[in-house]
Amino acid sequence: MPDTAKVLLSTDDHGVTTLLMNRPEKLNSWDYEMEAQLMQAAHDIERDLGRHRVLVIKGAGKAFCAGVDMALIGREQAMRPRDLRNHMAIRHRFFEWLENIELPIVAAVHGYCLGGGLELALACDFRLLSDDAKLAMPELGFAQIPGSGAASRLAALANASVAKDLIITCRRIDAAEADRFGLATRVFPANEFAGRVEEFCRDLATKPPLAVAMAKKIVTMVQSVDAGSARALERLGQSALLGTEDLAEGLAAASERRVARFTGR
């Protein structure tokens, strides 16, 4: 994508792919063009999934993402309900893609993370927060509610009380409180944030891809089944990995006291 694009995609030699929301003058808030570019980035990644080990989502400038552009919300008020649902389905599909793609997804959250931007972070597998991060769900302040997974994902990660608190009061929380609620995977000092995110992602990129994908899928699936079914799914996932070259490499590396080199086969 050209440098003027609102979404930039790049991959380093370690297989760490960065998706940069590139609309800093609007705090990386989405318009329809940006949402379409997010979906295009998803398609580009899927076309050659094997070269990607980790996807990290970042925001340019002083914010991660402020959600939907307020100007866009004004336009949506004038839309027919069917057209509005079709437009909103694009961002919903992107969030669901993040949850279902067989790739670990990291949200690198600094500065403002508001509304749909917080919903985006909640849809990721890992949320790395700079200690300058500010998180909020402001929708109720203008007589709306978040509609892209905030209620369900907040309740799952924290609890229903936290979900009601953030959605109904619209209050802004800092990284420390987000961490206490269980919304943060790690919190890093702002002056170390870029380096610590890079370190985290490169370490994640060394993990066996097939096992990572299986772990992500199983953890998601067991949330909605009974305990017995959950244990059965774990055993099925484990057995499916028994014949992989990566397992043989991992066992050999452990025996030979060397670093394993996983290939995703």
Contact 30, 70 (CB under 8 A): no
Residue 137's pLDDT is what? 94
pLDDT confidence of residue 83 = 65
pLDDT, residue 75, reads: 62
What pLDDT is attached to residue 171?
96
What's the pLDDT at 73?
66
Closest CA to 119 of 83, 146, 157, 158: 146
* pTM for this prediction: 0.91
**Per-domain residue ranges of the chain:** 7-205, 209-256
What single DSSP character describes residue 111? B
> Do the beta carbons of residue 56 and residue 16 sit within 8 Å?
yes
CA 19 from centre of chain: 11
Distance CA 63, CA 116 (A): 13
CB 135 within 8 A of CB 113: yes
Percent of the chain with pLDDT over 90: 71
Among left, alpha and beta (phi > 0; psi -120 to 50; other), residue 61 is left
Q: Are 103 and 45 in contact (CB under 8 A)?
A: yes
Q: Is 58 exposed, middle or buried, given 0-12, 13-18 or 19+ CB atoms closer than 10 A?
A: buried
The architecture CATH gives domain 7-205: Alpha-Beta Complex (3.90)
* DSSP annotation of 13: T
Burial of 16-48, coded b for 16+ CB within 10 Å and e otherwise, reads bbbbbbbbeebbbbbbeebbebbeebbeebeee
- Rounded mean pLDDT for each run of 10 residues along the chain, 265 residues in total: 78 95 95 89 92 96 91 65 68 88 96 95 97 95 84 91 94 97 97 97 95 93 90 92 91 92 91
Say what percent of the chain tops pLDDT 70.
92
Return the pLDDT at 1: 47
